[in-house]
Amino acid sequence: MFRHEVLRARLEIRDFFLKNTVREVYENIGQVLSLVRMQLAMLDSDKKAIASIESPGNLVGQSIRDLRVMCKSFYPDADILNEGGFIDALGNTVRILYQYTDPSLKIKGIQKEIQPELKLLVFKIIQEILTLIKESEGKFERLTITYTDEEVKFSILYNGTAIPFDNNTSDDDINLTIEQKVQLINGKLTLAKRKSGLMQVQLSHPLKYCYE
């Protein structure tokens, strides 16, 4: 069951980032290149000054750089397993869902290495939680990751209503709920309202998955 969920997580993580890449290409890069085409079409063939093509050239250059960055989204699961990739991917998830240019992510303790397969599954769980908050019209506030010698704890603060962990977030009836996935990795999951009025989701799990 654990390996099955890891494989599912790998595929769904790819699907999440690829959908965003397609949207970015269509909405942003597509618009930029359309603007370049219009600017080039307006150039007077008898007055081809270098200055007149400088702006389109810069736009094309920026589009090429953006496409190179987006290529990393083809295999985000591989980037997540690289050093620093896990944190970067969490930040990108928040940016995609909430359009935050600089999401609040905080690290406490000495960063420890999480078992690769476990890391993918944990990332998917957090991604599902962040998506549920978004779908309930909640506002993300902060994600804190605390490392100890034996476990990792994630604390997500948001402004909104309570979200369910026992509902299936997929159309596939055999997919585990968030609650079941947390149980599978021997983790703990809680949801509480703080005195400040913010909701707090806490997820903790061991650094390694123990096969029985």
User: Tens of pLDDT along 126-139?
Assistant: 999 999 999 999 99
pLDDT of 50 > 60? The answer is: no
Using N-to-C axis directions, what is the helix angle for 50-70 and 2-24, rounded to 10°?
A: 170
Question: What is the DSSP secondary structure assignment for residue 187, as one 8-state letter?
Answer: -
Neighbours of 150 (CB within 10 A): 10
pLDDT digits (tens, 9 = 90+) for 103-134: 889 999 999 989 999 999 999 999 999 999 99
Residue 175 pLDDT level (bands cut at 50, 70, 90):
confident
pLDDT of 49 > 90? The answer is: no
Q: Where are the domains of the chain?
A: 15-73, 77-206
Is there a contact between 28 and 135 (Cβ–Cβ < 8 Å)? no
| 3-state SS, residue 68 | helix
Instruction: Write the DSSP string, 93-129.
Output: HHHHHH--SS--EEEES---PPPHHHHHHHHHHHHHH
With respect to CATH, is domain 77-206 assigned 3.30.565.10? yes
pLDDT recorded at residue 46 = 46
pLDDT recorded at residue 24 = 65
Higher pLDDT, 158 or 67: 158
pLDDT digits (tens, 9 = 90+) for 4-45: 999 999 999 988 888 776 666 655 665 666 666 666 666 555
